[in-house]
Amino acid sequence: MRPIVIGSGMGGLATALILKKNGFDPLIFEKEKFWGGSFTSYKVGNYTVDTGMHFLTRGTTGELPKLMKKYIDGDVFEKNFVEQNKYMFYLGDKSDIVPANLSELLKFKILPFRDRLKFIKLVLYFLRMGRENTKTDLTSYEHVKKYIRSDKTLYFLNALSWMSNGCSMKEGSLSRFLDTFIKERRLSVGFVMKHLTSKRRAKEEEWYPIGGLITVPRLFLNEGLKVETGKKVEKIIVADGMVRGVEVGGKFYKSDIVIYDGLVKNLYNIIEGGKLEIKEPKYEEYQALTLWLGFDKKIADWNRVSKLKVMENMGSPHWGFFVTDFDPKLAPPGHQLFGISGILHKEKNLMVKEMKETVEYFIPDYEKHVDMEHVQVCRAEKTLHKNGNNIFYLPEQKTNIKGLYVVGTDTKGWGSGGTLCADTAFRCWEYIKNDINLTNLNNSD
Ligand SMILES: Cc1cc2nc3c(=O)[nH]c(=O)nc-3n(C[C@H](O)[C@H](O)[C@H](O)COP(=O)(O)OP(=O)(O)OC[C@H]3O[C@@H](n4cnc5c(N)ncnc54)[C@H](O)[C@@H]3O)c2cc1C
């Protein structure tokens, strides 16, 4: 029996890869004409643009690199990814490298010195909450204001909230900041000392895929996964509380293992013969806006630095880099390709205008050399991490219907984006393995 994976986003592909490497031959259906979901690239003229500015985050510790290193042979990481050099924050007339540990935070000069000390107290408070697995329904802002009052530090923390939750600190949940700590229960004298004295820099956590973002799903497909594109799963057939297969274009495909990577809220509508009873995430659609600019010559040398401008009006920050610093082939020879993203939180044209002001701030007189401009709106994750809608509220991968599982960014897991997708895939596989042992679900037919 071939397991069926519905959707070829990172959640679906990561699960399919694990299944493949464990002796299954998954059948993947994708409703769009392309695979990768929100993790893909396409051509605009002679430029190759990604679906938003992406890095492979948590490059040394995250679940997605872990999954690739575990299941794809031959130094996959080293051969296919280029490390970011530096990650810079800009606030007013100050800039500095993003701190990756407490010792860097102490030296982080875009914040007033007194605030840095308070910030460390705040981090320790977060760590304690994480270690104790504290479930909190206060917004990030309500926690933060106990320690921090200065505008600069609030702007900075607000930028982190937009980046990790997709909304401002006044609406956002703390869970995204706590998730690693909750998972690893890391708070000890040793942990704090290690972080105070660590030599690690933030750059080690951010990698860009050679060939563009599409390289990531392509690496998965190279392992023998095949995606049936342009095939929307219309029904999931259930009988006696157990999944029996799916219907695509009126044709029935039999299977007793079905993994769903679409929006969980749509899953309710396509199940026939059973009732789905899982936690339904409170959905709030949110999208990111990316401005892509092609330049007719090399107009700046950023040397693999990415820059994030913190907005002093508490708006979503603008984060950009030259993708051609990582792979020159993404633009015609001698040209450069630059992208800048932010969460779409105001009228689109107004946001594009503000983004152009940021580009001007970073690259004065850039306009004279633009030979390609492309504005793109993409969904960043399936649901917004607002307060009251955090990891504690998302559904587990195993559903009440035997053999039916859910993965992707609206299911429970650690991290965000691709990291979260890989984590949900690992969690899903644990459930499948367990169920195979307990029941007659099997991989032979
Ligand atoms: C601007 C921007 C920047 C980002 N930056 C980063 C970053 O730096 N690092 C990072 O890791 N992540 C980043 N992300 C987030 C990341 O792209 C997404 O979180 C991730 O790709 C979501 O994957 P998913 O599998 O949950 O969902 P999706 O990609 O939405 O995949 C779901 C798939 O299921 C298919 N589908 C749905 N229903 C059906 C059906 N009935 N039948 C068949 N197919 C179906 C859909 O067509 C889709 O292909 C960013 C996103 C944006 C927009």
Q: Using CB atoms within 10 A of its CB, is residue 170 exposed (0-12), middle (13-18) or buried (19+)?
A: middle
Arithmetic mean of pLDDT, 108-132: 80
* 193 pLDDT higher than 90: no
Instruction: Please state, in angstroms and rounded to a whole number, the distance separating the CA atoms of residues 163 and 149.
Output: 21
- Measured CA distances, 154 to 106, 142, 143, 243 (Å): 16, 12, 12, 49
Which pLDDT score, from 0 to 100, does residue 262 have? 97
pLDDT at 44: 98
> pLDDT tens for residues 354-392?
999 999 999 999 999 999 999 999 998 888 777 666 666
Structure tokens at 414: 């650690």
Q: How many CB atoms lie within 10 A of CB 382?
A: 23
User: What are the residues whose beta carbons fall under 8 Å from the beta carbon of 294, sequence distance 6 or more?
Assistant: 44, 45, 47, 331, 335, 336, 337, 338, 370, 371, 372, 373
Please determine, for residue 285, whether its predicted confidence score (pLDDT) is greater than 70: yes
Coil vs helix vs strand at 427? helix
pLDDT digit string, tens, across residues 234-284:
999 999 999 999 999 999 999 999 999 999 999 999 999 999 999 877 778
Radius of gyration in angstroms for the set of CA atoms belonging to the chain, rounded to a whole number:
22
Query: 417 CA distance to ligand 1 centroid (A)?
Result: 8
Rounded Cα distance, 331 and 298, in Å: 11
> Is the pLDDT reported for residue 186 higher than 90?
no
CB of 29 shorter than 6 A to ligand 1 = yes
Q: What is the mean pLDDT of the chain?
A: 89
> Which pLDDT does position 191 carry in this prediction?
59
Q: Which residues, 6 or more positions from 266, have their beta carbon under 8 angstroms from its beta carbon?
A: none
Residue pair 16/5 in contact by the 8 Å Cβ criterion:
yes
Handedness of CA 119, 121, 125, 126 (dihedral sign): positive
- Report percent pLDDT > 90 for the chain: 64
pLDDT of residue 444: 42
Q: Is the C-alpha dihedral spanning 23, 77, 289, 370 positive or negative?
A: negative
- Which pLDDT does position 40 carry in this prediction? 97
- Position 445 scores a pLDDT of 39
pTM, entire model: 0.92
Angstrom distance (rounded) from CA 97 to CA 422: 28
Say how many CA atoms lie within 13 Å of 177 toward its Cβ: 28
Query: Contact at 8 Å (CB) between 411 and 396?
Result: yes
Query: Which CATH superfamily is 4-79+208-281+384-438 part of?
Result: FAD/NAD(P)-binding domain (3.50.50.60)
Q: Select the highest-mean-pLDDT range: 108-112, 197-201, 278-282.
A: 108-112
8 lines ligand 1 (CB under 6 A): yes
Task: For residue 402, give the DSSP letter.
Answer: B
Which pLDDT score, from 0 to 100, does residue 8 have? Answer: 98
The domain defined by 284-379 carries CATH number 3.40.50.300: no
Given the CA of residue 52, which atom of ligand 1 is nearest to it? Answer: 1
- Inter-CA distances, 283 with 37, 276, 334, Å: 18, 17, 44
Neighbours of 108 (CB within 10 A): 18
Query: Is the pLDDT at 233 greater than 80, yes or no?
Result: yes
Q: How far is the CA of 223 from the centre of ligand 1 (A)?
A: 20
Q: What is the pLDDT of residues 59-93, one digit of tens each?
A: 777 899 999 999 998 888 889 999 998 889 999 99
Per residue in 301-316, pLDDT (tens digit) is 999 999 999 999 889 9
pLDDT band at 194 (very low <50, low <70, confident <90, very high): low
Pocket test for ligand 1, best of 67, 381, 420 (most atoms within 8 A of CB): 381
Ligand 1 midpoint to CA 389 (Å)? 19
Q: Tell me: the pLDDT tens digits for 331-349?
A: 999 999 999 999 999 999 9
Residue keyed to tokens 């949900």: 424
Assign 405 to helix, strand or coil.
strand
How far is ligand 1, taken at its centre, from the CA of residue 225, in Å?
Answer: 18
Tell which residue, 59, 55, 144, 156, has the closest CA to residue 98.
156
Distance between CA atoms of residues 177 and 161, nearest Å: 9
What is the distance in A from the centroid of ligand 1 to the CA of 429?
19
Rounded CA separation 252/237 (Å): 9
Domain ranges of the chain: 4-79+208-281+384-438, 101-199, 284-379
